[in-house]
Chain A
Amino acid sequence: MDYEIVIGLEVHTELKTHSKIFCGCSTKFGSEQNTNVCPVCLGLPGVLPVINEKVVEFAVRVGVALNCEILPFSKFDRKNYYYPDLPKNFQTSQYDLPIAVNGYLDIVVNGVTKRIGVTRVHMEEDAGKLIHSGATITSSDSALVDYNRTGVPLLEIVSEPDMSSAEEARAYLEKIKAILEYLDVSDCKMEEGSLRCDANISLRPRGTTKLGTKAEMKNLNSFRSVQRGIEYETSRQEEILEEGGRIIQETRTWDESKGISLSMRNKEQLNDYRFLPEPDLVPIIVDPARVEEIRASLPELPDARKKRLMEDYGLSEYDANLITASKAMADYLDLGVQCNADAKTVANWLMGEVSKHLNNEGISILACPVSPKQLAQLLTLIEKGTISNKIAKAVFEDMWTSRKDAEVIVKEKGLVQISDSSEIIAIVDAVIAANPQSVADFNAGKEKAIGFLVGQTMKQSKGRANPDMVNSLLRERMQNK
């Protein structure tokens, strides 16, 4: 049986406000346990929440950026369930009237653009952190609770079940991350938990429309986990269906190290959330004029930026897509162009050498030791013919570790390209004299023989001879032999 995969993603992002959503405690990450808490976020008897205006503003920004309708009347609700990371044993969230609904974003996978619906965006508060005494939840005797994170503002972004492959899911997540970064509402660090993703996956026979039973997948802590987790879950469900079994609606947790998902106890039974309107908070009325104000003040978003890179810089869609996936990367490109480097060349180097080095060290472009200005200088040297592309790569390595400018390195190591034809001819003649057989082969019609001769010439010149000139001068000088 041929199955179609149906995937919906729920993304939670921590907003980078100074204070928590309902109280003035700091949202700073990494503080000592239980030092960013107060009676309100501890849920002590008698306390009341007061909403942080920045959270609403950020929520509207995100809603607008995701092409949503901003609901003019929106309210908070309590989601009631018991868990020790939730001090009040309810989470203040939004249920039936979230701040934004019915949006979409576009992804590009294998050159194909697809529109993924965004069902809703809503505001809610984060819970605390639990540390289990044992290696896993089930092997622990006790747990320790840190409430620093309770009350940190979250936005939950729910997609329509419009994705049909792990690649699409990944592309969607990358797009969301990019948009959030461009809007500067979150620092989107999956490793710090400021961007989290749960996936709902189900299968249905290809061509049918009825949705199959879904499983919810949690603990997908990186882009890689999202992709692997979905792929694993798809196989798991396929296997069950092939054997004639039924999929149980349940929540599963992904184990990245083992590459498998495990069932969590069926939560549906134990938790009827019994939503009720939050009596301690009054409704949010968003004025349409304010929405337009926010829309007008949005920065250039990934898709618009991608379009600009394609139109102004002539980048291909693939390249533009890749570069704009990270705001920092796109900013780097713009800065490089401002320093008079050619956009396409900068783009190629970003996707090539720069990314290679960043990945090797596991750092982001923001920590790149070579600045856009420095890269631009290096590219100018290539463009002017001062060094060859090959030498440039070596210079780049040096720039990376020594932090020195390209010009300095080229000068210090004497790497300036030889473009003086008389100098090259001298070397070329010597090589021709030393390799009569290759010359004869070439003149007999073996094109490939020139490769060896070029190599020899480059070697003699310690890589500094201008390769194009070497090629043409070799041919010229061999003609007469």
Chain B
Amino acid sequence: MKITCKDVANVALLSRLEFSQSELETFTGQMDAILQYAEVLNKVNVENVEPMAHVLPLKNVMRVDEAKPSLPRELALSNAPEQEDGYFKVPKIMEG
């Protein structure tokens, strides 16, 4: 086993997802299979190989510091599930 139900439960917490026990078990089995398949990555020699986060050799792409018009507030809030007085409203936040 590359990954256990407990590992998956921890990952679920980090991802803000919740599962029933049976869903957790199914997911664990599937993720395990995928990670087993990914074992093949251990066969390749990556010594002295640089990681590639960007395929393009672009650099220093920047813009001029100029203020531009913002969205009208109604549009900014137009998809809000809940709003109040021009704010987005959310349930209470437990920790600071």
Using a CB–CB cutoff of 8 Å, the interface residues on chain A facing chain B are: 17-19, 23-27, 32-39, 42, 50-56, 75, 82-84, 130-133, 137-138, 140-147, 218, 253, 264-265, 267, 270, 272, 274, 276-277, 279, 281-285
11 further A-B pairs in the complex, CB-CB below 8 A; given A27-B67, A32-B73, A35-B86: A26-B70, A33-B86, A39-B71, A52-B62, A84-B93, A132-B92, A137-B96, A140-B92, A144-B85, A272-B14, A274-B14
Chain A residues within an 8 Å CB radius of B90: 84, 142-145
Taken together as a complex, chains A and B put the C-alpha atoms of A331 and B85 apart, in Å, by 44
Chain A residues within an 8 Å CB radius of B56: 282
Chain A residues within an 8 Å CB radius of B96: 137, 218, 253, 264
Q: Do A284 and B14 touch (CB < 8 A)? A: no
Taken together as a complex, chains A and B put the C-alpha atoms of A225 and B59 apart, in Å, by 42
Taken together as a complex, chains A and B put the C-alpha atoms of A138 and B95 apart, in Å, by 8
Chain A residues within an 8 Å CB radius of B43: none
| Chain A, Cβ-Cβ closest to B86 | A33
Chain B residues within an 8 Å CB radius of A18: 65-67
Chain A residues within an 8 Å CB radius of B67: 18-19, 24-27
- Write the nearest CB–CB distance from A278 to chain B, whole angstroms: 8
- Write the nearest CB–CB distance from B6 to chain A, whole angstroms: 14
Chain A residues within an 8 Å CB radius of B16: 82
5 A/B residue pairs, CB under 8 Å, sorted by A: A18-B67, A37-B70, A38-B76, A39-B71, A130-B93
Q: Do B59 and A284 touch (CB < 8 A)? A: yes
Using a CB–CB cutoff of 8 Å, the interface residues on chain B facing chain A are: 13-14, 16, 53-54, 56, 58-71, 73, 76-77, 84-96
Chain A residues within an 8 Å CB radius of B64: 53
Chain B residues within an 8 Å CB radius of A272: 14
The answer to whether A34 and B93 touch (CB under 8 A), given A277-B53, A282-B59, is no
The answer to whether A282 and B91 touch (CB under 8 A), given A18-B65, A37-B76, A144-B84, is no
Chain B residues within an 8 Å CB radius of A37: 70-71, 76
The 5 A-B residue pairs with the shortest CB-CB distance in the complex, in nearest-first order: A24-B68, A144-B87, A54-B65, A277-B53, A53-B62
Taken together as a complex, chains A and B put the C-alpha atoms of A50 and B64 apart, in Å, by 10
- Write the nearest CB–CB distance from B36 to chain A, whole angstroms: 22
Most-contacted residue by chain B among A27, A42, A147, A276 (CB, 10 A): A42
Taken together as a complex, chains A and B put the C-alpha atoms of A133 and B59 apart, in Å, by 45
Q: Do B91 and A285 touch (CB < 8 A)? A: no
- Among candidates A53, A82, A142, A270, residue contacting B65 with C-beta atoms closer than 8 Å: A53
Q: Do B59 and A34 touch (CB < 8 A)? A: no
Q: Do B87 and A140 touch (CB < 8 A)? A: no
Taken together as a complex, chains A and B put the C-alpha atoms of A24 and B70 apart, in Å, by 8
Taken together as a complex, chains A and B put the C-alpha atoms of A253 and B96 apart, in Å, by 9
Most-contacted residue by chain B among A50, A75, A283 (CB, 10 A): A283
Q: Do A283 and B54 touch (CB < 8 A)? A: yes
| Chain B, Cβ-Cβ closest to A31 | B70
Chain B residues within an 8 Å CB radius of A285: 59-60
Chain B residues within an 8 Å CB radius of A145: 87-90
Taken together as a complex, chains A and B put the C-alpha atoms of A24 and B86 apart, in Å, by 21
Taken together as a complex, chains A and B put the C-alpha atoms of A266 and B25 apart, in Å, by 28
| Chain A, Cβ-Cβ closest to B53 | A277
Q: Do A38 and B93 touch (CB < 8 A)? A: no
Taken together as a complex, chains A and B put the C-alpha atoms of A39 and B58 apart, in Å, by 24
Taken together as a complex, chains A and B put the C-alpha atoms of A195 and B86 apart, in Å, by 27
The answer to whether A140 and B93 touch (CB under 8 A), given A35-B70, A50-B61, is yes
- Write the nearest CB–CB distance from A225 to chain B, whole angstroms: 16
Q: Do B66 and A19 touch (CB < 8 A)? A: yes
Taken together as a complex, chains A and B put the C-alpha atoms of A24 and B64 apart, in Å, by 9
Taken together as a complex, chains A and B put the C-alpha atoms of A26 and B70 apart, in Å, by 8
Q: Do A38 and B70 touch (CB < 8 A)? A: yes
Taken together as a complex, chains A and B put the C-alpha atoms of A33 and B88 apart, in Å, by 10
The answer to whether A137 and B61 touch (CB under 8 A), given A37-B76, A38-B70, A279-B53, is no
Chain A residues within an 8 Å CB radius of B59: 282-285
- Among candidates A17, A35, A281, A282, residue contacting B73 with C-beta atoms closer than 8 Å: A35
Q: Do A143 and B58 touch (CB < 8 A)? A: no
Q: Do A144 and B70 touch (CB < 8 A)? A: no
Q: Do B13 and A270 touch (CB < 8 A)? A: yes
